[in-house]
Amino acid sequence: MTLTRLATLALAATALGACGGTAIPGPDAATPTAQPPSVTVASDEATGLVTPWGLARLPDGSALVSERDTGRIVNVAADGSLTEMARIAETVPGGEGGLLGIALDPSGAWLYAYVTTADDNRVIRMTLADPEGSREEILTGIPKAPTHNGGRLAFGPDGMLYVATGDTQVGELAQDLNSLAGKILRIDPEGGVPDDNPFPDSPVWSLGHRNVQGLAFDSRGRLWATEFGEKNADELNLIVAGGNYGWPLHEGVAGAGGYIDPQAQWSPTSLASPSGLAIVDDVAYVASLRGEVLWQVPLVGDRAGAPLALDLGDLGRLRTVEALPDGSLWLTTSNTDGRGDPRPADDRILVLTLSA
């Protein structure tokens, strides 16, 4: 670690010390214009899953779930029954790697998956009509490691696919535009680089990320992302094209020129370890692993309000949260991932209802 980085992190730690171990807003925090909705656990949608990671809702009311350590994509029927839809044979699970995020394209014809293989992390796609048939490689060569693999996929309102990657524990790669590590990438559905990406002929949309596992769009079509910190601060960031979010030079709010500060942060990182992200009516919901709570963060204009920890009972580690068309949320636990304490029937998908 360089002296410059040590000095930077020391200054950040001093600034964060006053927070007293609580979630705090970013600079110029927003004041919500209305009370955020209350959230309650309505039911179990499914039980008995193994390390669920990605979640994609289908038009018929069922859903697809990826299991990190088995390489399976499982169909969750409306009655909660589970059926294996496909098995991604090239998956090589280990540590935080395996079969990670999935996303359904806007046409509903293709399912995309982020997979750790023997050689790399990559994005592949398969048709829903024949998921066990031939598969296409959309983006390959994303660095892999036992940890910090990123893995979240999300289609934006622009029809482009956004891909979250991790720094693979090599922080310098997050600042290297020649590396796909520590970035948010933007590609077209066939894997090409859109002409309006910020760096010519590059899939890089933003850089300077440590490990992004949550992506979601607000009502204005803007991208937000959750990011794991090292020890000082986990982050919720508003992503802009070409933005540099500072890692490994800065962690949390730093106020340094040329780098974009988070809109909200958690300090210390044991409060959150934020993974999945969903946005409903411009309120963000963040699933936290070490923190074992669902965080609610109102979004107002260009700012985030103070995060609120929701009391949903003893659910353990939380990995993924997805918004449904009816305004409810689906939330997955992650207690069978080797770091949790499995509860009866884990891992589960829970249905959450939102009410004023």
User: For position 286, which CATH number holds?
Assistant: 2.120.10.30
Residue 148, token pair as written in the block: 């910090």
Cα separation values, 153 from 163, 182, 304, Å: 5, 14, 23
pTM over 0.85: yes
Residue 109 lies in domain: 3-355
Residue 40, token pair as written in the block: 């309650």
* Cα-trace Rg, the chain: 19
Neighbours of 326 (CB within 10 A): 7
What tens-digit pLDDT sequence spans the chain (356 residues)?
332 332 333 233 323 233 345 665 566 667 777 789 999 999 999 999 999 999 999 989 999 999 999 999 999 999 999 999 999 999 999 999 999 999 999 999 999 999 999 999 999 999 999 999 999 999 999 999 999 999 999 999 999 999 999 999 999 999 999 999 999 999 999 999 999 999 999 999 999 999 999 999 999 999 999 999 998 899 999 999 999 999 999 999 999 999 999 999 999 999 999 999 999 999 999 999 999 999 999 999 889 999 999 999 999 999 999 999 999 999 999 999 999 999 999 999 999 999 98
Give the number of domains in the chain. 1
Nearest to residue 73, comparing CAs of 85, 57, 55? 85
User: Taking phi first (over 0 means left), then psi (-120 to 50 degrees means alpha), and beta for anything else, what does residue 150 get?
Assistant: left
Residues 6+ apart with CB under 8 A from 37: 281, 283, 354, 355, 356
- pLDDT for 72 equals 98
Nearest to residue 230, comparing CAs of 66, 61, 9, 16? 9
Instruction: Identify the H or E element spanning 8.
Output: helix 3-16
Query: By the 8 A CB rule, do 51 and 68 touch?
Result: yes
Q: φ, ψ for residue 274 (rounded to 5)?
A: -75, 130
SS3 call for 24:
strand
SS3 call for 234:
strand
Sign of the torsion formed by the C-alpha atoms of 111, 72, 334 and 152: negative
Neighbours of 193 (CB within 10 A): 16
C-alpha 17/C-alpha 251 separation (Å) is 13
